C-alpha cells in the first residue's frame, strides 16, 4: 500500500501512470473496420494483399510473350475475391506437396484485351474483345508450378505455346511431364477450377463464368 501511496504522491509518476492507463484504454476500445473484413466475392482485389506464397512472372507486363509487346503498364495480379480465395486454397494443397503456383496472367481489363486483339486479331490465339474472355471477368489464371527453389516443373511446352503439344490430352510426353500436368489439373479441379483443353496453363473458376466482362484498372505505383 505504501508503494502505491508514494507513487501517487509524485506528480511525475502519477502523470506517467495516467498516460499508460489512457493508452491501454484506447487499445481495448480499438475495433477492426468491418468494411475491411466484408469483401464482396465479386470485388477485384490484389492477390498479394491476401497471400505471399505465390511466384509471379507476369508475361504481358513485359515483351517476353507471343505478342512481342508489353501491354500492361505494371505487373500486378488482380482477380475477383472469390477467385483469390479458391486460388489460395489450391496453392496450400500444392505447398503440402512441395510446390507453389507461379502466375503468368490474371485478370485482364477489356482495354488490354482490345490491345492484344489489335496486335494479333486471330481468335485462335486471342479472344475477340467483342465477346470478352474469362480473363476479362476476373475468373481466369494462367499458371504453372515451381518447387520451393523456384524451379519450374517440366510441363512439356512453354507458356503460350500454340500447338497440339500444349493440349492436356497430348500423349507423347515422358511420364514425368504427364504426371506434372495431371497434378496441376487434379488440384486445381479440387478447388473448382476448370482446365482449358488446348492450354495446360489456363484455368477458369467455375463460379466466375457468369460474371460481367470488366474494364476495372488498378493503379500502378
Domain ranges of the chain: 1-30, 37-208
Distance between CA atoms of residues 105 and 71, nearest Å: 12
- Dump the DSSP string for 111-172: HHHHHHHHH---TTTS--TTT--GGGGT-EEEEEEEETTSPBP--SS-TT--SGGGSTT---
What CATH number does domain 37-208 carry, 1.10.1740.10, 3.40.630.30, 3.40.640.10, 3.30.1380.10? 3.30.1380.10
163-218 pLDDT, tens digit each: 999 999 899 999 999 999 999 999 999 999 999 999 999 999 999 999 999 999 99
Q: Average pLDDT in the 95-104 region?
A: 98
Radius of gyration of the chain from its Cα atoms, rounded to whole angstroms: 25
204-217 pLDDT, tens digit each: 999 999 999 999 99
What pLDDT is stored for residue 134 in this prediction? Answer: 96
What pLDDT is stored for residue 25 in this prediction? Answer: 45
Amino acid at each position: 500500500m505504501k508503494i502505491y501511496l508514494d507513487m501517487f504522491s509524485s506528480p511525475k509518476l502519477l502523470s506517467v501512470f495516467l498516460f499508460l492507463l489512457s493508452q491501454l484504454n484506447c487499445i481495448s476500445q480499438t475495433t477492426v473496420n468491418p468494411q475491411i473484413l466484408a469483401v464482396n466475392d465479386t470485388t477485384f482485389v490484389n492477390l498479394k494483399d491476401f497471400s505471399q506464397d505465390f511466384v509471379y512472372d507476369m508475361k504481358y507486363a513485359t515483351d517476353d510473350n507471343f505478342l512481342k509487346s508489353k501491354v500492361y503498364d505494371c505487373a500486378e495480379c488482380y482477380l475477383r475475391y472469390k477467385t483469390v480465395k479458391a486460388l489460395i486454397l489450391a496453392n496450400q494443397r500444392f505447398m503440402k506437396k512441395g510446390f507453389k503456383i507461379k502466375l503468368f496472367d490474371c485478370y485482364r481489363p477489356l482495354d488490354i484485351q482490345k490491345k492484344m486483339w489489335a496486335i494479333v486479331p486471330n481468335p485462335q490465339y486471342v479472344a475477340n474483345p467483342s465477346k470478352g474472355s474469362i480473363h476479362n471477368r476476373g475468373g481466369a489464371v494462367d499458371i504453372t508450378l515451381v518447387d520451393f527453389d523456384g524451379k519450374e516443373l517440366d510441363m512439356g511446352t512453354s507458356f503460350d505455346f500454340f500447338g497440339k503439344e500444349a493440349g492436356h490430352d497430348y500423349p507423347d510426353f515422358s511420364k514425368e511431364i504427364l504426371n506434372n500436368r495431371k497434378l496441376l489439373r487434379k488440384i486445381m479441379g479440387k478447388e473448382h477450377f476448370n482446365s482449358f483443353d488446348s492450354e495446360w496453363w489456363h484455368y477458369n473458376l467455375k463460379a466466375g463464368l457468369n460474371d460481367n466482362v470488366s474494364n476495372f484498372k488498378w493503379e500502378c505505383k
